[in-house]
Chain A
């Protein structure tokens, strides 16, 4: 636990936590610049209006699903397919919500519901790191200040990045290709989520199933990949659990 300066008031410490959150949120957005520009440029290359593409960031705040939604709209998909695809891509947030609940349990319901709005991939990573410290992220006001400082700065930063990408993505010279920034960013988001062999199998099988399904209509490949990966990972998880139980019974 860090030493507490007796000259600082609670309000001072909350303000310092908010500043730390804003700093972390903006640092994360620096890492998202290539992805944001690549995504914005990809959105701008569709026939969907730039206004809709830019609007997707403050409304959805989840890049991969935003790009999929815009590409589906461009391909003439129905509202239902767009929404189902976005729901599947963003189903991982269920885990974030369940995992953060113990840390946010003492917050008012209204504050928790506001916190959920900015609970993106990087926000989960920042909150998990901060609240997982030995001091649990400090007293409640400091935790709230940090969370919203980071969450709001990252969400606003993401919206600005998307807008810049949509409006200026076409100006990026061809000798600076950015396409790979999207899968690389998601690779780096996936790695910390793989905790065991079941997670690795879910990612690998899900990935190759999506690749094999790439000739299917846009969006369906991700649905097929995610479902197949989840099934394969679930089988491995059950198998390893059974084996562990058996080993314990044998000891």
Chain B
């Protein structure tokens, strides 16, 4: 029950973030706050992305961090060239698999 309640309330609060400015034309973000809204996405997602790339398995180490960072850079480059999320993701993931495979085969990982 406790877990269902947490998920249900999380759904409610998420829905509120999505609906708040669609309910009425009168509800608009205050000008002083509105200019900072475009920073919320980068700040929150950055807080998820950087630890995920720097410490993909929970700790920073040469054999874990470097391949993940290289995959991140390659994903970014692929996205920059094609503007396609799927191509960026697959490019980064496949390169990461390749590096991890080589490191595993050579016994470095």
Contacts and interface: CB of A to CB of B under 8 A. Distances in A.
Contacts of B106: none
Contacts of A30: 86
Nearest to B5: A79
Contacts of A94: 17, 20-21, 29, 37, 40
B45 A59 contact: no
Interface stretch (A6-14, A17-25, A62-70, A133-141): A62-70
Nearest to B3: A52
Interface string B16-59: 01111111110011000011111111111111111111111100
A83 B13 contact: yes
B6 A214 contact: no
A233 B75 contact: no
A95 B41 CA distance: 8
A44 interface: no
Contact of A203 (B49, B96, B101): B49
B35 A59 contact: no
A198 B38 CA distance: 9
Given A83-B13, A193-B45, A229-B46, A234 B56 contact: no
B89 A185 contact: yes
Q: Most chain-A CB neighbours within 10 Å: which of B21, B24, B37?
A: B21
Contacts, number: 267
Contact of A188 (B8, B25, B75): B75
Interface string A217-228: 000011011111
A149 interface: no
Contact of B97 (A59, A117, A177): A177
- DSSP class of A's interface residues: helix, strand, loop or mixed? helix
Given A94-B37, A95-B37, A100-B22, A203 B53 contact: no
A83 B9 contact: yes
Interface residues of B, number: 65
Nearest to A209: B47
Contacts of B92: 180, 184, 187
B63 interface: no
B62 interface: no
A157 B104 CA distance: 34
A190 B49 contact: yes
B79 A64 contact: no
Interface in B73-103: 75-76, 79-80, 85-86, 88-89, 92-93, 96-97, 100-101
B90 to A, nearest CB: 8
28 contacts: A28-B85, A35-B89, A64-B45, A64-B48, A66-B10, A83-B10, A83-B13, A91-B40, A92-B41, A98-B29, A100-B22, A104-B22, A112-B22, A119-B18, A183-B68, A187-B76, A188-B89, A193-B38, A199-B42, A200-B42, A205-B43, A209-B47, A214-B55, A221-B47, A221-B51, A225-B50, A226-B40, A230-B43
For the complex of A and B, 9 pairs with smallest distance between CB atoms? A207-B50, A183-B52, A225-B47, A229-B43, A203-B46, A31-B86, A116-B19, A210-B47, A59-B11
Given A183-B72, A202-B46, 9 more contacts: A56-B10, A79-B9, A184-B72, A189-B85, A202-B43, A207-B49, A208-B50, A222-B48, A229-B46
